[in-house]
Amino acid sequence: MAVSPSRILRTVLREEAFYFFTSIGNYTGQSASSLDEFLQKTKEVNLKSLEFHLYREDFEKWIAQTLGDSKLAEDIKGLRNLKVVGNTLRDRLYFLVSRRLKDLKSALQTTK
């Protein structure tokens, strides 16, 4: 069953938020409690953190399992398979998340 845009766009509890690390046990102090906030953080966090989480499959797991967005999770999986790193990773991740956010917000408007 498809998850509604409003559910995907919701703000989750502190315990369910995404916490950005740069390596095992090294927390940057940055976290995201919603997809909107996640997009913002993709611009701000250390590149090492983006690489660490992408290749551990953390982004796609959080987006699929916590937010319930299997489509975006698949897109990010595709990005991982391209083995991008550095600023290319940041730019592509930002593009994927912002595009999905736009679609979800637009879908939310039409259902209102």
Query: Applying CB under 8 A, which residues contact other proteins?
Result: 14-15, 17, 19, 21, 24-29, 31
- In terms of CB distance, is 29 or 111 closer to other proteins? 29
- Return the number of the residue (56 or 105) whose C-beta is nearest other proteins: 56
Instruction: Give percent helix, percent strand, percent coil of the chain, each to the nearest 5.
Output: 65, 10, 20
| CA R_g for the chain | 13
Q: Which is nearer to other proteins, 29 or 109 (CB)?
A: 29
Report in angstroms how near the CB of residue 91 gets to other proteins at its nearest. Answer: 26
CB of 53 to other proteins, least distance (A): 10
Q: Is 71 exposed, middle or buried (0-12, 13-18, 19+ CB in 10 A)?
A: middle
Cβ closest to other proteins, residue 16 vs residue 91: 16
Q: Please give the distance of CA 27 from its chain centroid, rounded to a whole number.
A: 17
Q: If we measure between CA atoms, which residue out of 45, 51, 92, 55 comes closest to residue 72?
A: 92
Min. distance of Cβ 45 from other proteins in angstroms? 12
